[in-house]
Amino acid sequence: MSKSVAITIDDEFSRVKFLANRTPETTDEEAKNAFALLSEYRDGGIYIAHYSGFSEWERHLNGDEFVQILGGETSLILLSNNQEQRNSLSSGQMLVIPKGVWHRFESPNGVKVMTITPQPTEHCIEPPSGT
């Protein structure tokens, strides 16, 4: 059994670099310093990110995703029955995204977010159809 170590989230955010103007076309290489894995957890991990802009669509087929806004604000858009459900979230708010639901973030003014994300994650740039 491995030893548990306390994680200080503010310290971890000091290690990530703010990514300005993220787009759905931003590559993993361009974004890598704006994201950090805090800990492995079940079949995925606990992550933090600090960026402004717009993410690509994503979904997680192995479980729900927990999203906690730690700073700034975002619109978290879920796609269900080809309809976008817009959720405005700001610091201190959280949302659980159900397993398999496509979603994306719109954060033009910047957001600090922590997620508990199951893997694998599917990504696409265009809105998925037939969902």
Give the pair of three-digit tokens for residue 123: 């990504």
Positive or negative torsion for Cα 23, 27, 30, 36: positive
Q: What is the pLDDT of residues 31-63, one digit of tens each?
A: 999 999 999 999 999 999 999 999 999 999 999
Per-residue pLDDT tens digits for 99-114: 999 999 999 999 999 9
- Alpha helices of the chain — where are they, by DSSP H? 9-13, 28-31
Q: Domains in the chain, start-ordered, CATH in brackets? A: 9-122 (2.60.120.10)
**CA distances (Å), 96 to each of 70, 76, 115, 129, in order?**
15, 11, 10, 22
Per the DSSP assignment, residues forming a β-bridge with 109 are none
Mean pLDDT, residues 82-98: 97
How crowded is residue 112: how many other Cβ atoms within 10 Å of its Cβ?
Answer: 21
